[in-house]
Amino acid sequence: MKTAILTLAVIFMLLIKTASATNIRGQLVRNYNGMFYALPGVRVDLMVWNGQSWVDVSYAVTGNDGFYFFINLSPGTIFCINVFGRFYPAQSPLQVANVALQDVPVIST
């Protein structure tokens, strides 16, 4: 029994360790007369807080379904999204979670 618990604990620790890079996904849509349509081909900039200032570290281009992805981000990184000159969210930035895939809420322009 003890061996089994120990084995599970080790596997759990290994699983935690492997989840060291996070992929981020989000979607860009356009609100038109109350209907939402995916926005393709739009540049989405990833702004990261480096401890002193915001740095534009990378950008993605939305696909036909409006989705954009940033991959291999370190958990704990503070970030926000810059689209069409606006920074989302405006009030408080987001933080990369220690999960394999993190969703950023849909941005409706």
| Chain contacts with another protein (rule: CB under 8 A) | 23, 25, 27, 29, 31, 34, 36-38, 46-47, 49, 54, 57-63, 65-72, 78, 80, 82-83, 85-93, 95, 101, 103, 105-109
Cβ 8 to another protein shortest distance, Å? 23
Closer to another protein at the Cβ: 9 or 69?
69
Euclidean distance between CA atoms 95 and 42, whole angstroms: 23
Closer to another protein at the Cβ: 7 or 50?
50
In 3D space, the residue among 83, 86, 99, 4 whose CA is nearest the CA of residue 41 turns out to be 83
Closer to another protein at the Cβ: 8 or 89?
89
Closer to another protein at the Cβ: 20 or 109?
109
3-state secondary structure of 86: strand
Cβ 4 to another protein shortest distance, Å? 27
104: CB partners within 8 A, 6+ apart: 24, 25, 26, 81, 88, 94
In 3D space, the residue among 77, 76, 80, 109 whose CA is nearest the CA of residue 92 turns out to be 80
3-state secondary structure of 75: coil
Cβ 2 to another protein shortest distance, Å? 32
